[in-house]
Amino acid sequence: MATVIIGSQWGDEGKGKITDYYSKKADYIVRFQGGNNAGHTVVVEDKTFKFRLIPSGAVSGKKVVIGNGTVVDPEILIEEISELEKEGIPVKLYLSERAHVIMPYHKLQDSLEESLKGNLKAGTTGKGIGPCYQDKVGRFGIRFVDLLDKEVFKEKLSLFMSMKEALFRAHNQPFRLTINEVFEAYNKYADYLRKYVTDTSLLVNAALQEGNHVLLEGAQGTHLGIDHGIYPYGTSSNCVAGAACTGAGISPLSIKQVLGIVKAYTTRVGTGPVPTELEDEVGTYLRDRGGEYGTVTGRPRRCGWLDMMLLKYSHRVNGFTGIAITKLDVLNGLETVKVCTHYMVGNNPLYEFPASMKTLAQCNPVYQEFPGWRFDPEQVAKSGFNALPEAAKKYINFISHQLAVPVYVVSVGPARHQTLILREVFS
């Protein structure tokens, strides 16, 4: 059976830690969208791992898959493989032959386009994600199956690089890449990665048929997705449960559980309206206590109160069977904790998340207030859910009732053991 883990907000919900927990019970862990714009931090004992491409489950020595729906920077992937090997962790990686390759010109194009977009820029991670997906959809992409065939690769590279050169020339921008240099460098990557490249859809389907547990690890979050996110400020892939089917090459019928990861408050790294953003000392409190700085870019994240409008929309398009609430401990010590239940646009209440960014920018959050709490994460980790203060339990139950979705996990600290498991996804 397959379980999908999805970020319910703007990414950075703490998916890595939850995936890491469930990956211990899974046989395969699969990435199905995004690329090295993602950043997962996993803390194991005193060691912190920061992954961008490889599924977090790799730390547990599990079989990990990078599916066809991803875009992969081979240089970064090789770095991550080497890092794991240095730690003595065996890398059981399968890379889809259909995944698209991020090329050096994609990264240049990423910053060129950001500079041209003015107020519409997303504040991208600059990793070439958008341009690589553009080329995929435009059918100018290079897949791993192409990269591994020198002849095909050379033909495509020559054609596409001259198109890119023309693009840069049209904008009076320098384009210092040469076909030969890129060809040489990428041939080396191809030789290194060749042994990992395969038909991962075949592999994952066979695994499912044999009764294995497959964990599909979403990157970013629902509200960053190309269809359901804050367009045009989000990313270029779909970040919802449905994308797991196209991005891993499996049937929707094989997905039995969809676990939504809900950070106990809101964060956003990048541009665009964030209705519950706090530009005051509470926002700073959340940022400092939560270590809210981008894993990939190091940028400070914009912080604010939990927003049920985001979560309700996420639940609608993902169909969560359960939720995991993360970083509850970060709210420790606040006198009052607020949750946005709906928005006001002028004098009109709004109960569904708007598609228009103009409207979103005009939304004023309406809050329900909760008394704050303080707990010792270590003690709660030892004694379990019931050891949480009543106020914290009330907060958790409110979220669960609003969505009518059970809580599977509550994370009360960054360490692996500071995770309260209320329900398992794999029986």
What Å distances lie between residue 222 and 84, 153, 240, 304, CA to CA? Answer: 29, 34, 6, 17
Shortest distance in whole angstroms from residue 268 CB to ligand IMP = 7
Q: Which residue reads 């409110």 in tokens?
A: 398
Shortest distance in whole angstroms from residue 104 CB to ligand IMP = 16
Distance CA 299, CA 295 (A): 8
Chain center to CA of 190 = 26
Distance CA 416, CA 16 (A): 11
The three-class DSSP label of residue 296 is coil
Q: For ligand IMP, which is the closer residue by CB, 70 or 201?
A: 70
Burial class (CB in 10 A: 0-12, 13-18, 19+), 358: exposed
Is residue 263 within a helix (H) or strand (E), and if so which, with residue range?
Answer: strand 255-263
Shortest distance in whole angstroms from residue 148 CB to ligand IMP = 26
Distance CA 105, CA 130 (A): 12
Q: Is 40 a catalytic residue?
A: yes
| Chain residue whose CB lies nearest ligand IMP | 270
Q: Is 376 a catalytic residue?
A: no
Distance CA 214, CA 257 (A): 11
Query: Which residues, 6+ apart, have CB-to-CB distance to 167 below 8 Å?
Result: 109, 112
Q: For ligand IMP, which is the closer residue by CB, 122 or 317?
A: 122
Shortest distance in whole angstroms from residue 72 CB to ligand IMP = 14
Beta bridge partners of 263: 326
Shortest distance in whole angstroms from residue 7 CB to ligand IMP = 8
Q: For ligand IMP, which is the closer residue by CB, 11 or 322?
A: 11
Bridge-based pairing of strands 322-326 and 407-411 is: parallel
Shortest distance in whole angstroms from residue 186 CB to ligand IMP = 21
CB 261 within 8 A of CB 8: yes
CB 50 within 8 A of CB 140: no
User: Residue-wise over 173-194: b if at least 16 C-beta within 10 A, else e?
Assistant: eebebeeeebeeebeebbeebe
Q: For ligand IMP, which is the closer residue by CB, 39 or 57?
A: 39
Nearest by Cα to 252 from 60, 4, 80: 4
Q: For ligand IMP, which is the closer residue by CB, 125 or 321?
A: 125
Shortest distance in whole angstroms from residue 220 CB to ligand IMP = 5
Cα Dmax for the chain = 66
Distance CA 111, CA 21 (A): 36
Phi, psi dihedrals of residue 90, rounded to the nearest 5°: -65, 135
Q: For ligand IMP, which is the closer residue by CB, 37 or 70?
A: 37
Q: For ligand IMP, which is the closer residue by CB, 294 or 321?
A: 294
Active-site option among 40, 106, 223, 228: 40
Q: How many residues does the chain have?
A: 427
Q: For ligand IMP, which is the closer residue by CB, 102 or 207?
A: 102
Active-site option among 12, 20, 73, 146: 12
Binding residues for ligand IMP (CB under 6 A): 11-12, 37-39, 122-125, 127, 129-130, 219-220, 224, 233-236, 269-270
Shortest distance in whole angstroms from residue 300 CB to ligand IMP = 12
Active site residues: 12, 40
